[in-house]
Structure 1
Amino acid sequence: MRYAVYLTPPDGAPLAEAAATWLGRSPFPGPAGPAAAPALALPEVPARYGFHATMRAPFVLAEGRTEADLLAAFEAFAAQRSVLHPVLAIAPLSRFVAFRSDDPALSRAAQETVEAFEPLRAPLTEADRARRSPDKLTSRELDLLERWGYPYVMERFVFHMTLSGPVGESLDTVTAAAKSHFGALDGAPHPLILAIYREDEPGGPFHVIATQNAAASSNSDRSR
């Protein structure tokens, strides 16, 4: 069983609904439907994880730690954070299509989240290291992998909410299809809340098991 701390639009928010329709699946409870995304977008790749932005990449709990420990730590952490409202725009990211933002508050939030949940993470196994293709990482990314369990953290963090699999030559086509599907939601500000996602078995779908209290956190310090 693995857990992750992600940012997500609240369940029922316009962006959450549009993303679930695009991917054919929501990480929140509810029936799945056929993906509106074209097949060449490989929507099943991001659909497995559910629409999200990674704050703390999937990890196994450390020995002696329980899900109850994680949820208690999450509740305390999330209660001190405000809901973020970044402007999100659809754009290519390497071989993928994603909602992207350069809002510096997102980078700060990611660093805080990585640091806060590090004590709950089990050490990497050799299989974990192999999954990250270490031969393709820079020396700095290898250092980050060993220190934090994931290579794309701290200054290597790039905010994104993935909408496709690795589409390569179809990048422009999938980008245009995504822009058409999301319409006015593209290039607009959206509320994003913290959530715990859980993968019950290897290769299975991730689903939301806890979320930040959006009403309470909206009133917290927005300077974070």
Structure 2
Amino acid sequence: MLTSPRYALYYAPAADSALWRFGSAVLGYDAITGEDIPALVPPGCDAEAWPELTEEPRRYGFHATLKAPFEIANGRSEGQLRAFAHNYAAGLERVNLEGLSVAALGSFVALTPSAESTVLQRFAFALVQAFEPFRAPLSEADRQRRLKSPLTPAQSAYLEAYGYPYVGDAFRFHMTLTGSLPHEKVAPVKQALARTYAEAIQARPFALDRIALFKQDSRSSRFRLLDSFMLA
């Protein structure tokens, strides 16, 4: 079993924000404290089944992936990674979006931007490239795991170049709220989460105003927030 720590660059909302409270409660996990919290089960959903439906995203904490989990490269340290992230964030401008909406992405449900944003796409790909010197090459086991998913030629090329297939024009900003759901559950769970989200957050613009560094001590542990860096 792989035991080396992994790091990831995410967007994670401010700890005192309604969005962080909503997402963490839906997953039943607070990635700041590393503790389980009472789950926010949408009306009409089975409270006993909800922990299983959110088990996979609970491992990662509430977030949107910017640079997917990676082991740190030889010759690099966690301290160097944190310092680089701090300096990098200081040179970035926040990304303003119209808002977020609950959507079904295949078999799982997530928050996604209400409208497309080329600024967000460029922001995300530039970050992936900037942090590439800190990423160790994919292990063969991780590479084969990724290749089990059906990938386009472009996504396969991204996997080889950046250790993750969903970057560049394949990137889609999303904040996962469930794991993979049975087909018949996708629509009702999406509708229930949309109602709960509207009540908790209400319609409002959204700004990506920070990047967060998360850490996973071993593959059997959950990710926790290591540091958060405000954009200039």
Q: Same fold (TM over 0.5)?
A: yes
Report the equivalent of 2:112: 100
Deviates more, 1:184-193 or 1:158-167: 184-193
Report the equivalent of 2:176: 162
What secondary structure, in the 3-state scheme, does the structure 2 residue paired with 1:164 have? coil
What secondary structure, in the 3-state scheme, does the structure 2 residue paired with 1:9 have? coil
Report the equivalent of 2:9: 5
What secondary structure, in the 3-state scheme, does the structure 2 residue paired with 1:12 have? coil
Query: Which whole-Å CA distance do the structure 2 matches of 1:44 and 1:172 have between them?
Result: 19
Report the equivalent of 2:59: 48
Query: Which whole-Å CA distance do the structure 2 matches of 1:81 and 1:96 have between them?
Result: 31
1:187 to partner: Cα distance: 4.6
Amino acid at match of 1:198: K
Amino acid at match of 2:15: D
Matches within 5 A, 1:43-82: 43-82=54-93
Report the equivalent of 2:194: 179
Query: Which whole-Å CA distance do the structure 2 matches of 1:145 and 1:186 have between them?
Result: 37
Match of 2:205 among 189, 197, 222: 189
Query: Which whole-Å CA distance do the structure 2 matches of 1:44 and 1:134 have between them?
Result: 21
Query: Which whole-Å CA distance do the structure 2 matches of 1:31 and 1:134 have between them?
Result: 32
Deviations 1:161-208 (A, max 9, x none): 111001132111111121122124265323432000000111311111
Query: Which whole-Å CA distance do the structure 2 matches of 1:30 and 1:3 have between them?
Result: 15
Unaligned residue ranges in structure 2 (runs of 5+): none
Query: Which whole-Å CA distance do the structure 2 matches of 1:126 and 1:32 have between them?
Result: 33
Deviates more, 1:26-35 or 1:138-147: 26-35
Do the aligned partners of residues 58 and 30 (structure 1) sit closer, same or farther apart at CA in structure 2, a change above 3 Å counting? closer
* Percent of residue pairs bearing the same amino acid type: 38
Contact 1:10 1:191 (8 Å CA) reproduced:
no
Matches within 5 A, 1:83-122: 83-86=94-97, 87-101=99-113, 102-122=116-136
Query: Which whole-Å CA distance do the structure 2 matches of 1:106 and 1:7 have between them?
Result: 12
Contact 1:98 1:163 (8 Å CA) reproduced:
yes
Report the equivalent of 2:228: 211
Report the equivalent of 2:163: 149
TM-score, normalised to structure 1, is 0.89
Unaligned residue ranges in structure 1 (runs of 5+): none
Query: Which whole-Å CA distance do the structure 2 matches of 1:24 and 1:135 have between them?
Result: 28
Matches within 5 A, 1:5-24: 5-24=9-28
Amino acid at match of 2:38: P
What secondary structure, in the 3-state scheme, does the structure 2 residue paired with 1:178 have? helix
Contact 2:212 2:226 (8 Å CA) reproduced:
yes
Query: Which whole-Å CA distance do the structure 2 matches of 1:82 and 1:211 have between them?
Result: 15
Let me know the Cα RMSD of the aligned residues. 1.7
Contact 2:34 2:224 (8 Å CA) reproduced:
no
Deviation >4 Å, runs of 4+: none
Q: Does 1:201 align with 2:218?
A: yes
